[in-house]
Structure 1
Amino acid sequence: VTFHGNISSESQRNQDLGMMENRFLLTARSIKEWTPKKIKKDVKNVVVIMGDPSLKDIIKPDAVFDSDDFDTIDKLKIGLSKLDKYKFSYLNNHNTLVTDLQRLQGKIDFVFNLCDEGFDNDAVKELHVPALIEVVKIPYSGSNPQTLAYCYDKSLIRGIATEIGVPVADAFIITADINLFELNIPFPVIAKPNFGDSSFGITQKNVAYTIEELADAIVRIRSQFGYTKPILVEEFLTGAELSVGIIGNMQNYTVLPIIEEDFSELEEGLPKICGYEAKWLPDSPYMKALKSIPASIPSSTQEELTNHSLKLFERLNCRDYCRFD
Structure 2
Amino acid sequence: MQLPVQSQSTLYAEGWEAEAGPDDLLETARAADRAGFDYLAGCDHVAIPRRLAAAMSTVWYDPVATLSFLAAATERVRLLSHVAIVGLRHPLLTAKQYATLDHLSGGRLILGVGAGHVQEEFEALGVDFRQRGPVLDECLDALRAALGPDEFPEHHGKLYDFEGLGQRPRPVQERVLVWVGGSSAAALRRAALKGDGWLSQGDPRDRLPEQIERIRRLRDEAGAQGPFTVGAIAEPLYIGAARWEVGRRTLSGPPEMIAESLRAYRAMGVDQVQVRFRSRGRHELMAQIQEFGDSVAPLLS
TM-score (norm 2): 0.31
Q: Say which structure, 1 or 2, has more relative contact order (CA 8 Å, 6+ apart).
A: 2
TM-score (norm 1): 0.30
Pick the structure with more strand per residue: 1
